[in-house]
Structure 1
Amino acid sequence: MTMAPPELVAPVLLAIDPRGVATVTLNRPERGNAYDEALLAALIDGLASLAARPDLRAVVIRGAGKHFQAGADIDWLARASAYPPEQAFAASMATTRAMQMLNEFPHPTLAVVHGACFGGGCGLVCCVDVALATEAAVFGLTEVRVGVAPSPISTHMVHAMGLRHTRRYALTGERFDAAEALRIGLVHEIVADAALEARIETILDAILLGAPGAITATKRSFLGANGLTLDARAMALLAHESWMQRNSAEGREGTAAFRARRKPAWYPGA
């Protein structure tokens, strides 16, 4: 079998079944589906195209290969830390925009988490309506470990998990298992691998029993009335904070240390 060169493989795959259920697959399995500018652009374009479809009923987000989504691609972070301000801001705005679009998507969204779910992967989970995890899934809000801030996903984490749990895990960068993700509200259910596809279908069937317009109105009212949408000013502030920290001395040192598999300079005795 002939494999396409990596640059020709779409970083996000879209498929829609006859019911109007779309599957969005993050497709960089060789990098744990870590995001870079290409994946973010494809995700933004894909969500926009799906939102415009009158026949769409729901979206299921999955990760190709062994992991759901391992956060930002560390090599991309290293490149982005040297971007000039305008390009650096645009890179952070892409992350902010992708999360905002998913959070405010007009139809029901599900995430199916397996393997690693770190950083921005947790952000995606915080932005969907239903989050399922396999028993072996592993989570972490790990940005501070590489000297960057999770600004593009910060509001969504607080909305999903509450400030108390977000504070702990975003400040410590600790990894935690599916049981803890369930306890703190990051996921709704833990499902055994053998039962996963059947459970997804059960939830989708429940969604399909609801009137599409009523569901859209319900989502819109929940988010709007509770101040859970982001306007242009809020998005710009989050993106600005993100690129400033990424391009700082800490951001450069953190990504360099991670790539070299060493402790960062701020760690005592490093």
Structure 2
Amino acid sequence: MSLIRTASERGITTLTLDSPDNRNALSAALVAELSDALAACGKDPAVRAVVLAHTGTTFSAGADLKAPPSPYTFVDLLRQIVELPKPVVGVVDGHARAGGLGLLGACDVVLASEGADFALTEVRIGVAPAVIALTLLPKLEPRSAARYFLTGERFGTAEARVMGLVTGPLADLGQVLDGLRRASPQGLRATKRLVTARVLETFERDAEELVQLSATLFASTEAREGMTAFLERRDPAWRL
């Protein structure tokens, strides 16, 4: 059963994360399918832009703790979105958590419904938002990033727009897609290279260090306790 649903209309290919039973968690299988689908979009001259959407109430709950991809594989996926020669528009109509925010950070435009909410929950299971910092920190307002990276608090669409995670309301999707359809393929390719240059510099400089940090943290005693507590729906031992 496919975890990515694909549909195309007038030059726009929509890739829909379709694993609602686990809230579109980033399993090794889902990441591999999404990577393959993006590669196909990148090679297809009929594709002007890509929309990254979701089924269910959650865009993505972050890493699948039972069947996660390797940190290197996830880094490759994030970089693939950033480097794709077609604009990628992320669409959120519900919840987004942890690694799901990394996917949104890699997108060129992010549109969210008024009722959407977001959280960087890594600190609550004993790890850090290390790998997704590659796509998020170059784009987010630093004070807001520090608060939500450190506390794991939930925040809404209004704050997500102020901090730079969300571009605009979901109601703007038609207008954004119309603009992309009016743009030339060459113009989009060249312009995307301009707007992603800073993010790609971060990958070149920091990716290996952050992958190693992520691997070290996930293998730690605290992370094992945090992940076990999460799966058992209880507070971790350090909760005050």
Query: Post-superposition shift, 1:74?
Result: 3.1
Alpha-carbon shift at residue 227 of structure 1 (Å): 5.7
For 1:219, give the aligned amino acid. K
- Look up the match of 1:155: 134
Name the aligned partner's letter for residue 264 of structure 1: P
How many residues are aligned here?
A: 240
TM-score normalised to structure 2 length? 0.93
What does 1:212-227 align with in structure 2 at a 5 Å threshold?
A: 212-224=185-197, 226=198
Q: 1:60 aligns with which of 51, 54, 59?
A: 51
SS of residue matched to 1:244: helix
Larger radius of gyration: 1
Residue 218 of structure 2 is aligned to residue 239 of structure 1:
no
Deviating 4+ runs (over 6 angstroms): none
How far does the alpha carbon of each residue in 1:21-54 deviate from its partner, in whole angstroms, 9 at most, with x for none? 1101111111111111111111111111211112
Q: Secondary structure at the match of 2:44?
A: coil
> How far apart are residue 128 of structure 1 and its match?
1.1
Structure 1 length normalisation: TM-score?
0.83
Q: Provide the aligned C-alpha RMSD in A.
A: 1.8
Structure 2 counterpart of 1:133: 112
1:141-164, Cα deviation, whole Å (9 max, x unpaired): 111111122111102111221332
Task: Give the deviation of 1:236 after TM superposition.
Answer: 2.7
Identity of aligned residues (%): 38
Aligned partner of 1:168 in structure 2 is 147
| 1:76, distance to aligned residue in structure 2 (A) | 3.0
> Counterparts of 1:1-270 in structure 2 under 5 Å?
9-17=1-9, 19-76=10-67, 91-191=70-170, 196=171, 199-224=172-197, 226=198, 228-229=200-201, 234-268=206-240
Contact 1:149 1:246 in 2 (8 A): no
Structure 1, gaps ≥5 residues long: 1-8, 78-89
Structure 1 Cα separation of the partners of residues 42 and 140 of structure 2: 26
Unaligned runs of 5+ in 2: none
1:132–1:187 contact (8 Å) kept in structure 2? yes
Looking at structure 1, the residues matched to 67 and 225 of structure 2 have their Cα atoms a distance apart, in angstroms, of 14
Secondary structure (helix, strand or coil) at the match of 2:118 reads strand
Structure 2 CA distance, aligned partners of 1:139 and 1:188? 14
Paired residues of 1:100 and 1:229 also in contact (CA < 8 A): no
Q: Distance in 2 between matches of 1:201 and 1:233?
A: 36
* CA distance in 2 between partners of 1:174 and 1:50 (Å): 35
Summarize the Cα distance change of 1:175–1:231 in structure 2 as closer, same or farther, 3 Å threshold. Answer: closer
Partners of 2:167 and 2:22 in 1: how far apart?
26
Q: Does structure 1 retain, via aligned residues, the 8 Å contact 2:97–2:120?
A: yes
Alignment-mate amino acid for residue 209 of structure 2 = L
